[in-house]
Amino acid sequence: MKNKKIVFIVNDVSFFLSHRLVIAKKATSLNYEVYLLSKNTEKEKIKELKINKINYINIPISRSSKNILLEIYLFISIFYNLLKIRPNITHLVTVKPIIYGGIVSRILNFNVIFAVTGLNYIDYIFNENKNLLNKFLIFLFKSAYNFIFKNKNSKVIIQNKDDYLYFINNYKINKENIYLIQGSGVDLKKFKFVDIPSGIPKIIFPARMLADKGFYEFIKAAKIVNKKKILAEFLLAGSHDPENPESIPISYLDKINNNHGVYWVGFVKNINALFNESTIVVLPSYKEGLPKSLQEAAGAGRPIITTDTNGCREVVDDKVNGYLVPVKDYKILADKITFLLNNKNILLNMCKKSRIKAEKQFDQNIIVDQHIEIYKKYEK
């Protein structure tokens, strides 16, 4: 009997490697042929895919492109490759793959899984200026989503409870085909519990350099905490993302170092090592699906301060393994950081509670098994 085929379609190979590779590896161990349709120019990453038995196909996808001709070309490329491969399952992640791959899968009557990360982000990105154009764009997005979700062969994975309820209220699909899976999970053998180190505390911001990740709130909170003297180092650990409209200007990032104890350290490959050196992990994001970086921080046994919003609140039990603060409120953020720095016993207790939460909820073995169970439903 021929092996079953799974095709992942993702915006970026790096995202696949960090968030979906462990699922793909489990699938290959179960004799699935795994394909990845994405865009990448780095040979090392293509080599890593090959080592892990992932068949890579380059497609002309860009998160930021609005060129209609390029988008038509992308759609044709996805259509052609899916028609050629004829997968048993198409696993789609992020907006463009979901829409284009979803339309193709419905036309071809293919089995499809939609991994929706931050569902109501569509409304959020247009929320600041609800002019006629933005209302029309929201209508188009929702119409496209309703069309593809009506595919009788579709299943949807949602990452957090808020988005699950939003999905139920806004889109038309059988509830039996909706699954709540908490993110991508954490390798708890890699992200081990390590005691808080001695020396000057390090506060870590583990995210891309985007305004809607709470970048400016983190900077403002650092200035308040370190107003009179340097009480802690505030490390921005993430890459510059010029394609994203929320991107922080590179000129600003280049001159930020050592301003009130703030340092931009760029993308950190071994983020677990940085967490081991840290005291508190902070992500004042405006909205998330379910942030993997915070799951990893919990695995490393670190107190987490994040915003009381979709996705983020899934990782923190307020006053148990960290604090939830209002979105954009840098003053309260600064207060919570200062409080933890001044109350070591509470901080150390939160460390233990973070690790316990990660073991119960975010172990990647649990997450992978949940995905495989969905794959197996297509074998019945």
Q: What is the mean pLDDT of each run of 10 residues along the chain (380 residues)?
A: 86 91 95 93 89 95 81 95 96 92 93 80 54 73 82 88 84 84 92 94 97 96 91 95 89 86 93 96 93 96 96 95 97 97 97 97 95 88
| Model pLDDT, residue 380 | 63
User: How far is the C-alpha of 30 from the C-alpha of 36, rounded, in Å?
Assistant: 17
| Model pLDDT, residue 1 | 47
- Which phi and psi angles does 12 have, rounded to 5°? -140, 135
Same CATH topology for 4-185+364-377 and 202-362: the answer is: yes
User: How far is the C-alpha of 47 from the C-alpha of 34, rounded, in Å?
Assistant: 15
User: How far is the C-alpha of 121 from the C-alpha of 118, rounded, in Å?
Assistant: 6
| Model pLDDT, residue 329 | 97
| Helix ranges (DSSP H) in the chain | 13-19, 21-29, 43-51, 68-85, 95-96, 102-108, 121-127, 132-149, 161-170, 215-225, 250-255, 271-277, 292-299, 330-342, 344-357, 364-377
| Model pLDDT, residue 2 | 66
Q: Which amino acid is at 156?
A: V
* Residues contacting residue 102 through CB under 8 Å, at least 6 positions apart: 92, 112, 114, 144, 145, 147, 148, 149, 151, 154
Q: Which amino acid is at 301?
A: G
**Domain coordinates of the chain in residue numbers?**
4-185+364-377, 202-362
| Model pLDDT, residue 148 | 87
User: How far is the C-alpha of 50 from the C-alpha of 42, rounded, in Å?
Assistant: 13
Task: Report CA 194 to chain centroid distance, whole Å.
Answer: 24
Q: Indicate the CATH number of 4-185+364-377 among 3.30.70.2860, 3.40.50.2000, 3.40.50.300, 3.40.50.11780.
A: 3.40.50.2000
For residues 125 and 212, is the Cβ–Cβ distance under 8 A?
no
Please give the CATH number for the structural domain made up of 202-362.
3.40.50.2000
Share of the chain residues as helix, strand and coil, in percent rounded to the nearest 5: 45, 20, 35
Output the pTM of the full model.
0.89
Q: How wide is the angle at C-alpha 268 spanned by C-alphas 291 and 54, nearest 5°?
A: 70
